[in-house]
Structure 1
Amino acid sequence: MPTSAPSIFSSFDVVHYEGPDTQNSLAYRWYDADRIVLGKPLQEHLRPAIAYWHSLALTGADPFGSATIDRPWMREQDAMTGARMKADAAFDLFRVLGVPFFTFHDRDITPEGADLNSGLKNLHEMADYLEEKMQGASVGVLWGTANTFAHPRFMAGAATNPDPEVFAFSATTVKHCMDVTKQLNGQNYVLWGGREGYDTLLNTSLRRELDQLGRFLNLVVEHKHKIGFRGAILMEPKPKEPTKHQYDFDVATVYAFLQHYGLEHEVKLNIEANHATLAGHSFEHEISMAATFGLLGSLDINRGDLLLGWDTDQFPNNLLDTTLAMYEVIRGGGLGTGGLNFDAKIRRQSIESEDLIHAHIGGIDLCARAFLNAAKLVEGKQLPEVVEQRYANWNEEYAQSMLRGNLSLEAIAADAEKKNLNPKPRSGRQEWIENLVTRSLF
């Protein structure tokens, strides 16, 4: 087991559940991990995870200002020593918050390296270090992924790059990241196309790039089966940012892509709240769409600023929105091997280590309370019954015959004319339904 010097989180006690009435700001009010809800512990429904990149690698820099967050490992001159210091702090943070999972990119846990092979050597060395630390901790990997977007080599994409050497470099990187994720008993592996899109069609072969992305994803699936990785392969819809036209814009776009390349039964989706709003959708819409197509895999929990047009990745604080999202998770059958990854970052003015702890407590508590609200709506049966009643006539034999294809368009029209149909509008009861939901929040 690695030995560690005290980290910036070492002085904090473990955060415990103390109930809604506690005045302790470093306690959970709603996240009672062992509470049985809908037949299993709340922790097993939520499966919360800390994102290594925002929590441990964040500097606070933005397009208009330099770094504001300074951590000890960021000042270490030897990159691998700094990576181990960062890992020590990470596991201290996991201990304090009592979360069951974390997530990572390769570049979060290890430095780049001078070339491909030195970077891979760093990755596997740090994977061994993390594996040792996990032996003495009660935390696992929700998912791993590769950063194939930040380095200048990826400025024209990774899988979709016009240079086949970049494709090969990216494929090699993902192969090793998948191997590391399996080594660490990861539950899933995620691919998100940070640069898989285009800025202008004038220099783009659209079909060629889509075919490259389709082949890349098939390679990933083939490798999953070859190494016996039992987790799910997840693709993450990512609209607008950074490229103007992303190939993975939203759930519907990705579903069409997966169908076209024969991957709809091999790949599920990791859906992010902020990405949903950037695509012009609500979070619950994207969750429901994924569940409808059988693609619901995992969630990135955060929020965007509706007054800003980019991915602000703020910690969630809207109880109504999160309740609606959790309701769709329950209706969709749950997250399986997925979970709630807090892909969220503290603000650049929040520079103390305690700020990061408060942020996660608030986010986890919000999701716990939202899930309890959603479970109450499901158990109350009023909402499901309203939907069932609204579509009840479709259960009749004639209606089912129309859906099964037993009747032609001509036959349907002839019957409607014979009956001289004159349907009367019926209320959708939206206000009553919305009141039912909002009253569950209090």
Structure 2
Amino acid sequence: MSIFNAISPATYQGPDSTDPLAFHHYNPDEMVMGKSLKDHLRFAVAYWHSFAWEGGDPFGGRTFDRPWYPQDSMENAKLKADNAFEMFRILGVPYFCWHDVDLRPEQGSFADNASTLDEITDYIAPKMEETGIGLLWGTANMFTDRRYMSGAATNPDPDVFAFAAATVKSCMDATLKLGGQNYVLWGGREGYETLLNTDLGQEQDHLARFLSMVVDYKHKIGFKGQILVEPKPQEPSKHQYDFDVATCIGFLRKYGLENEVKLNIEQGHAILAGHSFEHELALATSEGMLGSIDMNRNDYQSGWDTDQFPNNVPEVALAYYYILKAGGFTSGGTNFDAKLRRQSLDAEDLIAAHVGAMDVCARGLKAAAAMLEGGELDAALSDRYAGWESDTAQAMLTSDLDSIAQRVIDEDIRPEPKSGRQERLENIVNRYV
């Protein structure tokens, strides 16, 4: 049974179209900076929010009514997969992403979970072959089940650590089997609620050891994809060890993992950490650590991760500006880690949400490319730091305080402030978006 039977494939109809299920700005074959929009954006659908999430919130139960509910049998798991691939076909997306529990019913026993994951990936593999739809990344859900209430890799119970390690192994095997281009770990509960029952040092050492074993296993099985970790602040744990991009980079460098692991960065998580999305992307790209992105948005009036579909072109344009400036995605892409509002009940709502989000991303990326090609922002940046190109300025970076102080005295240096011209730069951005 398909919930999408009456919906035709989304097509590009241009900005003058009023069809709510058509693309107005995303033409997958449109060439931008020598590459098609499809290849630039590398869109992926999140299996969890689109098919596994039932519409609940902290104050109410499920509102959606899908034919694959309850999600407790392999029969319904296969029906869910049938509907998922029908939606992928309608949208024309090249990729999807999953957690293990999105694909299969929870069995309780690790052996049973591994068996059903193997069974459902056997069912999905021919669909991928037939449609040409690829797996951007797989991951393990190590936060929903009560066994993970005190973390997975950082849990004080070694049996939970073992169960989590076995689960990740099975998910990496499944990701390899389906030709995944990345494998993601995000620590939904890798943090703590109170220091009174927490050994910070031991927990972070265990987290690093866990991640090192993941890297070792990647090489053992010949997985050529990228290992990614996802910065995630203060939700649901009060203090999380992967708070933001800077924290993750510091952690990876401390434990010697910076050459093996990159970052999957989410817009909503950036906001929760008190940053902008473009800040997190600019920092990651400056350190060579960008892997992939989760595209969504938060409600700025809410203090939690609302995972809404993107609708703000200026924000999206600045995000892609830094991605394009760094050369664009390699194995990564744009995963819509976004969900419908719980009042949006219809199958058409799911299509419309993705179509609109893909249009927003296309508009943003095209604006970002135009800003790069225009060169005004780069020129202003170069001009602001031009003083550092002189031999004297460069010599100062290898000098010492005594000699610098003497030069200031000898040359009677009296610096005058120079304008940062922020408003002019913001006006340049606004011309493009």
TM over 0.5, shorter chain? yes
Number of the residue aligned with 2:351: 357
Counterpart pick for 2:128 among 120, 131, 134 = 134
Q: How far, CA to CA, are the matches of 2:363 and 2:122 in structure 1?
A: 37
Q: How far, CA to CA, are the matches of 2:16 and 2:389 in structure 1?
A: 47
Counterpart pick for 2:23 among 7, 21, 28 = 28
Counterpart pick for 1:68 among 58, 63, 66 = 63
Matches within 5 A, 1:426-437: 426-437=418-429
Q: How far, CA to CA, are the matches of 2:52 and 2:410 in structure 1?
A: 70
Q: How far, CA to CA, are the matches of 1:201 and 1:427 in structure 2?
A: 45
Measured after TM superposition, the shift of residue 332 of structure 1 is 2.3
Q: How far, CA to CA, are the matches of 1:177 and 1:187 in structure 2?
A: 13
Number of the residue aligned with 1:193: 187
Could you tell me which amino acid in structure 1 is paired with residue 35 of structure 2? K
Measured after TM superposition, the shift of residue 300 of structure 1 is 0.3
Deviations 1:154-206 (CA, angstroms, capped at 9, x unpaired): 00000000011111110010011011101100010000000100000000011
Number of the residue aligned with 1:42: 37
Number of the residue aligned with 1:267: 261
Number of the residue aligned with 2:430: 438
Q: How far, CA to CA, are the matches of 2:262 and 2:110 in structure 1?
A: 29
Deviations 1:254-300 (CA, angstroms, capped at 9, x unpaired): 01100111001110000000000000000000001111111001000
Residue 53 in structure 1 maps to residue 48 in structure 2: yes
Q: Which moved more, 1:422-431 or 1:177-186?
A: 422-431
Q: How far, CA to CA, are the matches of 2:225 and 2:36 in structure 1?
A: 21
Number of the residue aligned with 1:3: none
Q: How far, CA to CA, are the matches of 1:333 and 1:285 in structure 2?
A: 17
Number of the residue aligned with 1:379: 373
Deviations 1:86-125 (CA, angstroms, capped at 9, x unpaired): 0000000000000000000000000111311011100111
Q: How far, CA to CA, are the matches of 1:335 and 1:424 in structure 2?
A: 41
Secondary structure at the counterpart of residue 17 of structure 1:
coil
Q: How far, CA to CA, are the matches of 2:391 and 2:330 in structure 1?
A: 35
Measured after TM superposition, the shift of residue 75 of structure 1 is 4.1
Matches within 5 A, 1:20-419: 20-75=15-70, 79-403=73-397, 405=398, 407-419=399-411
Q: How far, CA to CA, are the matches of 1:429 and 1:122 in structure 2?
A: 58
Aligned residues: 433
Q: How far, CA to CA, are the matches of 2:396 and 2:192 in structure 1?
A: 43
Deviations 1:19-46 (CA, angstroms, capped at 9, x unpaired): 1111211111111111111111111111
Q: How far, CA to CA, are the matches of 1:14 and 1:417 in structure 2?
A: 72
Q: How far, CA to CA, are the matches of 1:226 and 1:263 in structure 2?
A: 17
Could you tell me which amino acid in structure 2 is paired with residue 90 of structure 1? A
Secondary structure at the counterpart of residue 74 of structure 1:
coil
Q: Which moved more, 1:394-403 or 1:308-317?
A: 394-403
Number of the residue aligned with 1:424: 416
Secondary structure at the counterpart of residue 21 of structure 1:
coil
Q: How far, CA to CA, are the matches of 1:402 and 1:80 in structure 2?
A: 67
Could you tell me which amino acid in structure 2 is paired with residue 51 of structure 1? A
Q: How far, CA to CA, are the matches of 1:147 and 1:36 in structure 2?
A: 37
Measured after TM superposition, the shift of residue 135 of structure 1 is 1.4
Could you tell me which amino acid in structure 2 is paired with residue 428 of structure 1? G
Measured after TM superposition, the shift of residue 400 of structure 1 is 1.4
Measured after TM superposition, the shift of residue 402 of structure 1 is 2.1
Could you tell me which amino acid in structure 2 is paired with residue 57 of structure 1? A
Q: CA RMSD in A?
A: 0.9
Could you tell me which amino acid in structure 1 is paired with residue 53 of structure 2? L
Q: How far, CA to CA, are the matches of 1:153 and 1:26 in structure 2?
A: 42
Structure 2 residue ranges without an equivalent (≥5): none
Q: How far, CA to CA, are the matches of 1:412 and 1:261 in structure 2?
A: 36
Secondary structure at the counterpart of residue 252 of structure 1:
helix
Q: How far, CA to CA, are the matches of 2:324 and 2:178 in structure 1?
A: 28
Could you tell me which amino acid in structure 2 is paired with residue 279 of structure 1? A
Measured after TM superposition, the shift of residue 10 of structure 1 is 2.7
Q: How far, CA to CA, are the matches of 2:113 and 2:202 in structure 1?
A: 29
Q: How far, CA to CA, are the matches of 1:375 and 1:415 in structure 2?
A: 43
Q: How far, CA to CA, are the matches of 2:83 and 2:4 in structure 1?
A: 7
Measured after TM superposition, the shift of residue 326 of structure 1 is 1.1
Q: How far, CA to CA, are the matches of 1:335 and 1:329 in structure 2?
A: 7
Structure 1 residue ranges without an equivalent (≥5): 1-5
Measured after TM superposition, the shift of residue 361 of structure 1 is 0.5
Measured after TM superposition, the shift of residue 47 of structure 1 is 0.3
Could you tell me which amino acid in structure 1 is paired with residue 7 of structure 2? F
Measured after TM superposition, the shift of residue 415 of structure 1 is 1.0
Runs of 4+ deviating beyond 4 Å: none
Secondary structure at the counterpart of residue 291 of structure 2:
strand
Q: How far, CA to CA, are the matches of 1:252 and 1:343 in structure 2?
A: 22
Could you tell me which amino acid in structure 1 is paired with residue 325 of structure 2? R
Secondary structure at the counterpart of residue 103 of structure 1:
strand
